[in-house]
Structure 1
Amino acid sequence: MSSPAFASTADLGEKTVSFEEIGKGVYAYTAEGDPNSGIVVGDDSVLVFDAQATPTMAERVIGKVREVTDKPVSHVVLSHYHAVRVLGAPAYGAKEIVCSDAARAMIVERGEEDKASEIGRFPRLFQGADSIRPGLTWPTTTFSHNASIWLGKREVRLMKLGRGHTAGDIVAWMPDTNVIFAGDLVEYGATPYCGDAHFTDWPTTLDALAAFAPAAMVPGRGAALTNRAMVADGIKGTRAFLTDLYEAVKSHVAAGRSLRETFERVHETLKPAYGDWVIFEHCLPFNVTRAYDEAGGLDHPRIWTDERDRQMWLDLRG
């Protein structure tokens, strides 16, 4: 295999933003496989689900929101702890920043390391990095399993359905429209990032999500899923990728193969089916490394640092 540029450092092309209503007063902000945000317009205020990576990037979301409402943003909800989802939160001026207890614990444990790691991996997503406030973005409100935010008479129900993309993922469900914001638990035409994943748990979490039979969904990456067939396809594709990857890695671990040999064989196995998905080449080294650890009995993902990222890339792709 050729040795590609590290992670997504060579991905410099601008993406076209889409902003579409997928339920009454519920919007999807998407950008050709870049991180998505979900927006709910309530009676008196607005909720934003996933904040983008910097305040500068968040201003683009705010601009789209202002095209449909002048109501203030009262709540920013973080689906999990990754910097690309959270560091833009201060731009919204929200009275509450909400995430799960587990996500906050991960910010405490590894937030600084993740910030440096993600900026190094994908600088285009951190445009205006100098607009990030010093330090980390901290939630004002956390919960363990379920919480409801009321935007006047409109409920946004936040739920921790299980471990998956991270230990702290949550989804947001709007009962009045049966629309769900899934965060990175579901991707659509984009490669799931699994560097902090729990492969054994993730399919069960997807089962719990599918049980809502959502009428529409905003996935973490990829186009908005605007009907039940698209939602089912998004969940099915995410599940297939996770299963194919983890089963392949487990077989190589059982055979006593090294991490590099495992990566090379899994890359060869998965590329025909998934190689055209967004950020496939970026994600796969991180994914295989985490799957190799979990298959070897390590339940708690190791912390990624900028230094570890680059050493791993050299070891597997150099």
Structure 2
Amino acid sequence: MATPLVEVADRVWVARHEWFDVNVTVIGGTTGLVVVDTLASTREMRGTLDAVRRLGEVVAVVNTHEHFDHVLGNSLFDGLPIHAHEETAAALERFRDDRPAYDGERSEEIDASPVVVPTDTFSSARVVDLGDRQVELLHPGRGHTAGDIVVRVPDVNVVVTGDLLEESAPPAYGEDSWPMDWPTSLDLVISLMTDETVVVPGHGAVVDLDFVHEQRGGIGVVAETIRDLAGRGIPASQALAEGEWPWPHEALRHAVARGYEQLPRASKRLPLI
């Protein structure tokens, strides 16, 4: 059964897929449609694309970041501009050239989906013109990855955040995350919002500004706890046990390791004996 596209604002639709609980966003204008993120496989995206084409012609694609569950449907958009941050394109080139086999559900389907690198990259900001509507792409800084971007539709006050925010799980701190930068990156994203903003996270249900503030608070606690523990000489191997954290330890293992790596040497004390 195809995942339905739900209109969350004028000509902005979201399909929340059960697989990975990941969102695809479609933005319409007089010249066509922009598709934001393309799911974890070509097959999965094809089902949604049939519904998208009933809304109009796709003229551009956006990848919010490089993780496979957001990009492996890119091949269905051959010949169209695929917009992404330059760090995302570089990461996908590396992934394409040295791609490990996927070890998980529907692995054959994922492995059979080609990696298509974004064609139109930028470092800070870009505007996609849809005729009667401007779609703004902005890199607020590093967080979930080095190349996160948010997509803003200003005329209807919609912001699509990719995995800088997640509704259905704790923020995903992976081996490529930047936990010490993430809070200030979210501060910039929040500056684009009002109390009426419709916020589409990378995973889970559509949220509002109150949710964004709450999750940003937790992400800030993670960064400040890492900074405090390192400053007191607590080694990274003991940080999870010593700190008070907003999310379960299993969600923060990479956050601690990456956070300690990010800290300048001067902010770390020698481990206490």
1:291 matched to 2:273? The reply is no
RMSD between superposed Cα atoms in Å = 2.8
Deviations 1:173-222 (A, max 9, x none): 11221111111112224211122222332222212211222520111112
Residue aligning to 1:237: 214
Q: Which has the higher helix share?
A: 1
**Residue identity opposite 1:285 in structure 2:** R
1:34 & 1:127 partners in 2: Cα distance? 19
Equivalent of 1:28 in 14, 30, 48: 14
Q: Which residue of 1 aligns with 2:200?
A: 218
Q: Counterpart amino acid of 1:233? A: D
Secondary structure class of the residue paired with 1:164: coil
CA contact (8 A) 1:81 1:111 kept: no
SS at match of 1:220: strand
Answering whether residue 85 of structure 2 is matched by residue 100 of structure 1, we say yes
- Secondary structure at 1:197's aligned position in 2? coil
1:153 equivalent in alignment to 2:137: no
Task: Specify the code of the residue in structure 2 equivalent to 1:21.
Answer: E
1:19 aligns with 2:35: no
Give the Cα–Cα distance (whole angstroms) in 2 for the partners of residues 47 and 221 of structure 1: 19
Give the counterpart letter for 2:171 in structure 1: P
- Residue 32 of structure 2 aligns with an amino acid whose one-letter code is S
Q: Per the alignment, do residues 154 and 238 of structure 1 end up closer, same or farther by CA in structure 2, a change over 3 Å counting?
A: same
Instruction: Name the amino acid aligned to 1:131.
Output: A
Equivalent residue number for residue 179 of structure 2: 199
Contact 2:82–2:119, Cα closer than 8 Å, also in 1: yes
- After alignment, is 50-59 or 185-194 more displaced? 185-194
Give the one of 26, 33, 58 matched to 2:45: 58
Shift of 1:57: 1.9
- Once residues 285 and 169 of structure 1 are traced to their aligned partners in structure 2, the CA distance between those partners, rounded to angstroms, is 21
The 3 A distance-change label for structure 1 pair 243 and 129 is same
Specify every segment of 5 or more residues in structure 2 that has no aligned partner in the other structure, as ranges.
266-273
Question: Which of structures 1 and 2 has the larger relative contact order (alpha carbons within 8 angstroms, sep 6+)?
Answer: 1
SS of aligned partner of 2:156: coil
Q: Which of 128, 146, 151 does residue 109 from structure 2 map onto?
A: 128
- The equivalent position to 2:57 in structure 1, one of 72, 79, 86, is 72
* Cα displacement (A) at 1:126: 5.5
How far residue 49 of structure 1 moved from its aligned partner, in angstroms, is 0.7
Q: 2:8 is aligned with what amino acid?
A: I
**Contact persistence 1:52–1:84 (CA under 8 A):** yes
Report the AA paired with residue 46 of structure 2: E
Q: Distance in 1 between matches of 2:147 and 2:204?
A: 21
**Does the 8 A contact of 1:145 with 1:161 survive in 2?**
yes
Q: Structure 1 pair 126/175, CA: closer, same or farther in 2 (3 Å)? A: farther
CA contact (8 A) 1:58 1:92 kept: no
- Partners of 1:89 and 1:126 in 2: CA distance: 18
* Deviation per residue, 1:150-173 (Å, 9 max, x gap): 223221111112222222111111
Contact 1:186/1:234, CA 8 A, preserved across alignment: no
CA distance in 2, matches of 1:254, 1:149: 44
Identity within the alignment, %: 29
Which residue among 68, 71, 81 is the counterpart of 1:86? 71
2:238 corresponds, among 253, 258, 261, to 261
TM-fit CA distance, 1:18: 5.8
- The alpha-carbon distance between structure 1 residues 130 and 160, as it changes in their structure 2 partners (threshold 3 A), is closer
| Structure 1 contact 156–173 (Cα < 8 Å) conserved | yes
The alpha-carbon distance between structure 1 residues 138 and 113, as it changes in their structure 2 partners (threshold 3 A), is closer
Deviation digits for residues 11-41 of structure 1 (CA, Å, limit 9, x no counterpart): xxxxx95632111010122246622221112
Q: TM-score, with normalisation over the residues of structure 1?
A: 0.72
Kept after mapping to 1: 8 A contact 2:162/2:201: yes
Q: Report if aligned partners of 1:42, 1:152 keep a CA contact under 8 Å in 2.
A: yes
Following the alignment from structure 1 to structure 2, what is the Cα–Cα distance between the partners of residues 167 and 240? Answer: 20
Provide the rounded CA distance (Å) in 1 between the counterparts of 2:35 and 2:77.
9
User: Residues of 2 paired with 1:181 and 1:236: CA distance?
Assistant: 15
Q: Using a 3 Å threshold, how does the CA distance of structure 1 residues 113 and 257 change in structure 2: closer, same or farther?
A: farther
Give me the whole-angstrom Cα distance separating, in 2, the residues matched to 1:245 and 1:111: 29
| TM-score normalised per structure 2 | 0.82
Counterpart amino acid of residue 105 in structure 1: A
